[in-house]
């Protein structure tokens, strides 16, 4: 039995997520999540994606949709939940990579730390660390769950990176390595 990882591309459907410097979050999330899912499958993990297109599985209404993401992961029996997002701030200078978990000290923390370590070393992003957040997908999932904010669309330099196919591929590889360093597929 391979380790089961649920890969959640944040937003989608009529919800674009953050928009900054002409870049739309939901598409960045989908590209990185889809590449991450492919790497995980090739590595021997069992993988389910919430959406493999801009709309697949996405429900109307933010709260219903977030609950649906957690419900699907719970019903599938995921061992880990990884949600991919990109950030935005009123301050255009804000930058860097951060991970969120439901509570500091929970079972998701070492996975989050492993991903942060891999990501900032490979992509050269500022290390914004691991934080607790009362996000629905973190609260409602029954397995260790991490939500990653890859960078800030509101930052002109990071928006260029986030929109770059090569950077997106490197981001997926870095997240994959962070997962693999923490939990092997078998
Ligand atoms: Zn988001």
E strands, 43-166, are: 46-49, 80-87, 97-101, 127-132, 145-152
| Token code pair at residue 140 | 């409602």
CA distance 90 to 111: 29
- pTM for the whole thing? 0.98
In the reported structure, the alpha carbon of residue 161 is separated from the centroid of ligand 1 by a whole-number distance in angstroms of 17
For this structure, is 113 an active site residue? no
| Distance from the alpha carbon of residue 12 to the mean position of ligand 1, in angstroms | 10
One of 3.40.640.10, 3.40.50.2000, 3.40.630.40, 3.90.1150.10 is the CATH number of 4-182, namely: 3.40.630.40
The tens digit of pLDDT for each residue in 52-111 reads 999 999 999 999 999 999 999 999 999 999 999 999 999 999 999 999 999 999 999 999
Give the per-residue pLDDT at 110: 98
Domain boundaries defined on the chain: 4-182
72 beta partners: none
**CA distances from residue 123 to 13, 27, 70, 76, 150 in whole angstroms, order as listed:** 29, 19, 29, 32, 10
Question: pLDDT at residue 1 above 90?
Answer: no
Minimal CA–CA distance to 99: which of 66, 128, 69, 136? 128
φ, ψ dihedrals at 152, nearest 5°: -110, 120
Distance 43 CA to ligand 1 centre (A): 27
C-alpha 157 to ligand 1 mean position (Å): 19
Structure tokens at 171: 């981001």
CA of 46 to the centre of ligand 1 (A): 24
pLDDT tens for 112-151 read 999 999 999 999 999 999 999 999 999 999 999 999 999 9
Pairing assessment for the beta strands 145-152 and 97-101 based on DSSP bridges: antiparallel
Residue among 98, 149, 158, 173 flagged as catalytic? 149
C-alpha 25 to ligand 1 mean position (Å): 7
């Amino acid at each position: 039995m391979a380790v089961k990882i649920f890969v959640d591309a944040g937003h989608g459907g009529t919800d674009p997520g953050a928009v900054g410097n002409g870049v739309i979050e939901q598409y960045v999330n989908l590209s990185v999540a889809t590449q991450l899912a492919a790497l995980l499958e090739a590595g021997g993990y069992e993988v389910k994606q919430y959406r493999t297109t801009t709309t697949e599985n996405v429900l109307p209404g933010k709260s219903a949709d977030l609950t649906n993401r957690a419900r699907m992961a719970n019903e599938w029996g995921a061992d880990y939940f990884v949600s991919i997002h990109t950030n935005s701030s009123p301050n255009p200078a804000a930058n860097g990579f951060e991970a969120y978990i439901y509570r500091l000290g929970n079972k998701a923390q070492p996975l989050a730390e492993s991903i942060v370590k891999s990501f900032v070393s490979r992509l050269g992003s500022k290390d914004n660390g691991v934080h607790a957040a009362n996000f629905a997908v973190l609260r409602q999932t029954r397995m260790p769950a991490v939500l990653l904010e890859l960078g800030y669309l509101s930052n002109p330099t990071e928006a260029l990176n986030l929109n770059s196919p090569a950077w997106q591929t490197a981001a997926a590889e870095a997240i994959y390595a962070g997962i693999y360093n923490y939990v092997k597929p078998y």
